[in-house]
Amino acid sequence: MRRILLHIAAAVVLTMASLPMLQAQQRTAEKWTPPRTADGHPDMQGMWARRGVAIAEANAPKTPLSEFGTTGQPYPTVFNTGVSTPQAASALANRPSGIIEPANRVLPWRPEADAARREFLSHMIPPASLKYVEASARCVPPGLLGGDDRHPYQIVQRPGSLVLMYEYNHVTRVIHTDGRPHVGPNIRLYMGDSIGRWEGDTLVVDTTNFNDRTSFSQTIPFHSDALHTVERFTLIDPYIIDYQLTIEDPKMFTAPIRIAGTFAAAAKGSELMEFACAEGSQTLPNIFGFGLFPEQ
Partner 1 sequence: MRTKLWVITATAGLLALAIPAAAHHSFAAEFDVDRPVTVKGTVTKMDWVNPHSWIYVDVKDETGKVVNWRFEMGPPNALLRMGWRKDSIPPGTPVEIQGYRAKTGEAVANAKQVKLPDGRELFSGGSAPTLP
Partner 2 sequence: MLAIHDLQQGTRESYHERHMKKRVALWFALCIFVVALPAWAQAPTRAILRTSDGKPDLNGVWQVLNAAAWDLEDHNASLRVPAGQSVVEGGEIPYQPAALAKKKENFQRREANDPAEAACYMPGVPRATYMPFPFEIIQNPKLITISYEFGHTRRSIFTDGTPHPDGFPDFWMGDSRGRWEGDTLVVDVTNLDERTWLDHAGNHHSDALHVVERYTMTDPDHLLYEATLEDPKVFTRPWKISMPLYRRMEKNVKILEYECVQYIQEQKYGKAKPVGAK
The residues of the shown chain that bind partner 2, judged by CB under 8 A, are 38, 45, 126-130, 133, 138-141, 156, 158, 163, 165, 169-172, 174, 176, 180-181, 183, 187, 189-191, 213, 271-274, 276-279, 284, 287-291, 293-295
In the complex, the smallest distance separating the C-beta of residue 288 from partner 1, rounded to whole angstroms, is: 9
In the complex, the smallest distance separating the C-beta of residue 60 from partner 1, rounded to whole angstroms, is: 9
Q: Which does 171 bind (CB under 5 to 8 A by kind): partner 1, partner 2, none?
A: partner 2
In the complex, the smallest distance separating the C-beta of residue 50 from partner 1, rounded to whole angstroms, is: 9
In the complex, the smallest distance separating the C-beta of residue 223 from partner 1, rounded to whole angstroms, is: 12
Q: Which does 147 bind (CB under 5 to 8 A by kind): partner 2, partner 1, none?
A: partner 1
How many Cβ atoms sit within 10 Å of the Cβ of residue 18?
A: 10
In the complex, the smallest distance separating the C-beta of residue 109 from partner 1, rounded to whole angstroms, is: 18
Q: Which does 83 bind (CB under 5 to 8 A by kind): partner 2, partner 1, none?
A: partner 1
Considering beta carbons, is residue 199 or 295 the nearer one to partner 2? 295
In the complex, the smallest distance separating the C-beta of residue 44 from partner 1, rounded to whole angstroms, is: 21
Considering beta carbons, is residue 115 or 130 the nearer one to partner 1? 130
Cα distances (angstroms) measured from residue 166 to each of 22, 83, 151, 265, 274: 44, 13, 8, 14, 10
Nearest to 98 by CA among 60, 144, 52, 148: 52
Q: What is the largest CA-CA distance in the chain?
A: 103
d(CA 202, CA 241): 10
Considering beta carbons, is residue 40 or 289 the nearer one to partner 1? 289
Considering beta carbons, is residue 70 or 296 the nearer one to partner 2? 296
Q: Which does 35 bind (CB under 5 to 8 A by kind): partner 2, partner 1, none?
A: none
Q: Are 244 and 231 within 8 A, CB to CB?
A: yes
Residue 138 corresponds to which amino acid? Answer: R
d(CA 69, CA 64): 10
Q: Which does 187 bind (CB under 5 to 8 A by kind): partner 2, partner 1, none?
A: partner 2
Q: Which does 191 bind (CB under 5 to 8 A by kind): partner 2, partner 1, none?
A: partner 2
